[in-house]
Structure 1
Amino acid sequence: MQTKKEEIQQAIFKSAENEFLEKGFEKASLRQIVKKAGTSLGNFYNYYENKEALFVSIVEGAYIGMMQLVNNHNQWEGNDVLLDLTDVAVWRRELRRLILPIVPAITTPFVILIEGSQGTQFAHAKEDLLAMMEEHFMEHIEEFNPKYPNPQMAKVMAEQLIFGLVMIVKNHKDDEMRQQLIIEEILFFAIGIMGILKTS
């Protein structure tokens, strides 16, 4: 019986993930979610209080993971080593080691969080993340080149990084390829930013 309940809950979760990804929270239909999960609306309430509680269960882990990533990136073991590296192959290897623990947070729930959270307690998530990323880029500008002439690029870079991650997740379902592209994008931004700051 317990296994059956877990299967039903997982079916609801997966169905909701697809519905929220396609339509966002506000336009998502709870009736469609339970129908595609092969259960009833009445049974749904045995697992979740309401549609928003279901939404929270899907995106909360992604939100926490992304906030931790931005807040703690300077504390990663080996972070200082990256700053001294000039070999791109070594950068790629070290970067992979550093970000692998957070890659699981950059999945479908991350896209839902960024694109489909209007009407929920996470409606501010995209703006929060963009603001934190902009601040992160500004910290690097101030640390490595305070005289950099275009600090406004920090906001542009933050938006482009988040947009790129969303596109990778939406367009690539294979976990290995997705992981590789996420690492490549972060590598692209990291090397590009450091290169610009060191030469400007």
Structure 2
Amino acid sequence: MSYRPMDYIAALAEFNKEGYLKSSMRNIAGSAGVAIGNIYRYYKNKDELFDELVRPVYERYEANMAEMRQKISFSYSNDPPDVLKYYSKIEATLIDLFKTFTAEMTIVFNRSEGTKYAHAKPDLIKLSFSVIESMILKVRGNESLSEYETALARMLSSSLVEGLCLILRDNKEGYTYKKLVDQLLSIYSTGLNSVIQQMQASGRDQTQ
């Protein structure tokens, strides 16, 4: 099945504005300037149209997620010299995806309630938590996080993903959007590095 450009643009706009649950095939057809029957010639229902729209981008996103999970597993078993370095590389790939496919990623993370893609946001928070957990365990040399460290990892992982979703939701593609993403990542990376350095310093103090 191939995309029809006007349908694609109209569907992107409708799902971005209304979300999956409130979107209407009739509205999409109207925005595309075609009869609703024409839409149904290509897509049998709204679910199929939504899937056709976001699946290619989501599959690329999932591939990046799988790579990051593999790096996390490696960090647990092999204790690489710099866990943060691995996180930064995969993070850069994910952010490039957010910047390149802003509309599609906005739909997946903010407008996909009621679809099989609704788990994307909580999954990314869990993954981010796993990365931070891996970093803390490496620094501390412990087998599990303390109550404080667990709360800290949850706060940091949630704040990053919620920040990205907020930028996606409230800004259109373009310079401002990309600049805000870069700024968020800069603040986040600086803060995370600071936390890790404090833990490293604290660990050295306890051994002296």
Q: TM-score range by the shorter chain?
A: 0.7 to 0.9
The answer to whether the aligner puts 1:68 opposite 2:63 as a matched pair is yes
1:52–1:18 CA distance, 2 compared to 1 (3 A): same
| 1: CA distance, partners of 2:9 / 2:159 | 29
> How far off is 1:182 after superposition?
1.7
Q: CA RMSD in A?
A: 3.0
Aligned to 1:189: 188
Aligned to 1:15: 10
What residue ranges of structure 1 are gaps of 5+ in the alignment? 84-93
Aligned to 2:108: 113
| 2: CA distance, partners of 1:41 / 1:121 | 25
Pairs within 5 Å for 1:1-200:
9-73=4-68, 74=71, 83=85, 98-99=92-93, 101-104=96-99, 107-146=102-141, 149-200=148-199
1:174–1:104 CA distance, 2 compared to 1 (3 A): closer
| 1: CA distance, partners of 2:37 / 2:124 | 36
1:118–1:40 CA distance, 2 compared to 1 (3 A): same
Aligned residues: 180
> How far off is 1:35 after superposition?
0.7
1:173–1:129 CA distance, 2 compared to 1 (3 A): same
> How far off is 1:152 after superposition?
1.8
| 1: CA distance, partners of 2:99 / 2:36 | 31
| 2: CA distance, partners of 1:191 / 1:28 | 40
Amino acid at match of 1:22: K
Partner SS for 1:119 = coil
Report if aligned partners of 2:15, 2:111 keep a CA contact under 8 Å in 1: yes
| 2: CA distance, partners of 1:180 / 1:108 | 16
> How far off is 1:169 after superposition?
2.5
| 2: CA distance, partners of 1:67 / 1:105 | 15
Identity %: 24
> How far off is 1:98 after superposition?
4.4
Report if aligned partners of 2:16, 2:106 keep a CA contact under 8 Å in 1: yes
Amino acid at match of 1:180: K
What residue ranges of structure 2 are gaps of 5+ in the alignment? 73-80, 200-208
Amino acid at match of 1:31: R
Aligned to 1:88: none
> How far off is 1:37 after superposition?
0.7
Report if aligned partners of 1:106, 1:165 keep a CA contact under 8 Å in 2: no
Amino acid at match of 1:163: E
Alignment deviations for residues 123-177 of structure 1 (CA, whole Å, 9 cap, x no partner) = 2222222222222221122123356742222222222212211222233324333
